[in-house]
Structure 1
Amino acid sequence: MNGKRKGILFILLSAIGFFAYKMNGKVKKLKNVYDDCIAFTGKKITYDNEIFTGESMAVIFSGVEIDLTNALLQDEVNILDIHCEFSGVSIKVPKDWDIVLEGNSNKSEIEDKTSHLNDFVNNPKLIIKYNLSYSGVEIKN
C-alpha cells in the first residue's frame, strides 16, 4: 500500500471509530430515559395473553416488530412511547382498540392502517407517543 492509500484508510477508520464512539454515548443516554434501547439490530416483541402495562423504547438503526394482537391491557388507557432514529417499527393491535397518535416527526412517517369500525367509546385506548427522525412507523390490525 502506498502512503496516500494508507492515509485514506486511516481517515476512514478514524471516522468509523468516531461514529461508533458518538453512537455509544447516545445509546447510553437513551438507556437512562427509555425502558428498552434497541440499536443496530432487529427485534420482535410479542404479547401473547400477557398484560400490557405500557412501554417505552428507543430504536436506533434497527427494525422492530411489536405484536399486541393478543395482549391484555391493564388499564383502560395505556401508553407506548417510541423514540426512533433511522429505523422502522411495525405495531400490530387488536381491531377493537382505539389508537391515539401524539408526537413529532422529522423527515419520517407514521401510518395508521387500523380499521376504525367502532365508535371506540368504551374500548381500550392505546396512546402512541412518538419522536421520529428519518424513520417509519406502521400501525395495523
Structure 2
Amino acid sequence: MTRNNNNFLWGLLFIVLGIGFAGNAFDLWHFSIFFPGWWTLFLIIPCGISIIQNGFQTGSIIGFVSGVMLLLSCQGFVSTRLIGQLIIPVILIIAGLGIIFSNSSKKTISIKSSDFQKKNSEHLTDYTATFSSQSISLDNQIFTGASINAIFGSVTLRLDNAIINEDVVINSNATFGGIEIYLPAYVNVKVSSTPIFGGVTNRRHGIVNSDAPTVYINATCMFGGVEIR
C-alpha cells in the first residue's frame, strides 16, 4: 500500500469518528466509542492497517486476532475463561504457520514515500514481541530486511555490526510498545512514518554516501515509538 492509501485509511477513520461525535451534538444519534471492549480497537485497528500495508506478517496477525478474541469476550459472545485458554494456543499456531511459510512466500513491498521505489524482496524476517521483549544482534551477518512488531512489548534490533550490501526494507509496527534499531554508520536511512499518539526518533539524518546502500524504514506508531540510531 502506498503512503497516500495508508493515510486515506487513517483519515477516513478520524472523519467517521468526527461525524459520529457531531451527530451527538445535534441529537441525531447516540454515538460512543466507549462500548464494552473499546480498548481492543487499539490492537485491532493498527494491526489491521499493518496487514493491509505490509501483508500477512506474523506479529500483525497475532495482534489482530488477539484483539478480536478479546473484543468478542468483552461483548459476551465468548466466555473470558475460554478466551484465556485459547489465546496462547492460537498465538502458537499463528507463529508456527508463519515459520512454515516464511521461506516459501514472496511479496512486493511498497515504500510509503513518494520518492521510494517499489521493491521486490524475499519474505522479510519477522521479529515480534507481544507482552514481552526481544533483543536481536546480527554481528557479521548479511541483513536483507525485516518486519518488526512490538505489541505491548519492546524489540531491539542491532545491525551496527551487520553486513548490508544492498538497499533493504524494515517494516516496523509499535503498538503500545517500543522499537530500537541500530544501524551501521556507512548506510543511508530514509524513514516514512504514520504516527498515531506516537512517533519516530531518527538520529541518523542526512545522506552518508550517495553510493552507499539505503535502509528504508516504514514505521506505524500507535501509542508507541520507534528510535533509529
TM-score, normalised to structure 2, is 0.46
Equivalent position SS for 1:71: coil
- Paired residues of 2:133 and 2:154 also in contact (CA < 8 A): yes
- Correspondence 1:1-141 to 2 at 5 A: 17=80, 28=94, 35-75=126-166, 77-114=167-204, 116=206, 118=208, 120-140=209-229
CA distance in 1, matches of 2:84, 2:154: 19
Equivalent position SS for 2:184: coil
Matched residue count? 123
Report deviation, 1:126. Answer: 0.3
CA-atom RMSD in angstroms: 3.0
RCO higher in structure (CA 8 A, sep ≥6): 1
Normalized per residue, which structure has more strand? 1
Equivalent position SS for 2:141: strand
Report deviation, 1:114. Answer: 2.1
Q: Structure 1 unaligned runs (5+)?
A: 1-13
TM-score, normalised to structure 1, is 0.72
- Paired residues of 2:144 and 2:164 also in contact (CA < 8 A): yes
Aligned residue identity for 2:134: K
Normalized per residue, which structure has more helix? 2
Report deviation, 1:131. Answer: 1.3
Q: Structure 2 unaligned runs (5+)?
A: 1-72, 75-79, 103-123
Report deviation, 1:58. Answer: 1.8
- Paired residues of 2:176 and 2:222 also in contact (CA < 8 A): yes
